[in-house]
Structure 1
Amino acid sequence: MILRLSALAVLLYALGFAFFSVSLPDPAPRGKTDAIVVLTGGKGRLERGMAVLADGQARRMLVAGADPSVTRADLARRLGKGSGKLLRCCVDLGSESVDTRSNAEEARRWMTKRGYSSLRLVTSDWHMHRAAYEFRQDLPEARIVIDAVQTRPSLFILFAEYNKYLLRRAALWLDL
Structure 2
Amino acid sequence: MILRLTAFLALLYALGFALFSVTLAKPAEATRTEAVVVLTGGKGRIERGMAIMKRGEAKRMLISGADPSVTREDLARRLGRGTLKTLRCCVDLGSEAVDTRSNAEEARRWMIKRGYRSLRLVTSDYHMRRAAYEFASDLPDTTIIEDAVQTRPSLLLLFKEYNFYLVRRAAFWLDM
Same topology, TM > 0.5: yes
Amino acid of the structure 2 residue aligned with 1:57: E
User: How far, CA to CA, are the matches of 2:172 and 2:24 in structure 1?
Assistant: 22
Q: Residue 32 of structure 2 aligns with which residue?
A: 32
Q: Residue 62 of structure 1 aligns with which residue?
A: 62
Q: Residue 53 of structure 2 aligns with which residue?
A: 53
Deviations 1:64-115 (A, max 9, x none): 0000000000000000011010000000000011000000000000000000
Structure 2 gap ranges (5+): none
User: How far, CA to CA, are the matches of 2:5 and 2:17 in structure 1?
Assistant: 18
Q: Residue 118 of structure 1 aligns with which residue?
A: 118
- What is the deviation of 1:175? 1.2
User: How far, CA to CA, are the matches of 1:141 and 1:7 in structure 2?
Assistant: 40
- What is the deviation of 1:165? 0.2
Equivalent residues in 2 for 1:1-176 (5 A)? 1-176=1-176
Q: CA RMSD in A?
A: 0.3
User: How far, CA to CA, are the matches of 2:98 and 2:69 in structure 1?
Assistant: 14
Structure 1 gap ranges (5+): none
Deviations 1:100-146 (A, max 9, x none): 00000000000000000000000000000000000000000000000
Describe the SS at the equivalent of 1:126.
coil
User: How far, CA to CA, are the matches of 1:40 and 1:133 in structure 2?
Assistant: 17
Normalised by the length of structure 1, the TM-score is 1.00
Describe the SS at the equivalent of 2:127.
helix
User: How far, CA to CA, are the matches of 1:105 and 1:123 in structure 2?
Assistant: 16
Identity of aligned residues (%): 73
- What is the deviation of 1:59? 0.2
User: How far, CA to CA, are the matches of 1:139 and 1:82 in structure 2?
Assistant: 33
- What is the deviation of 1:20? 0.3
Matched residue count: 176
User: How far, CA to CA, are the matches of 2:128 and 2:72 in structure 1?
Assistant: 25
- What is the deviation of 1:43? 0.1
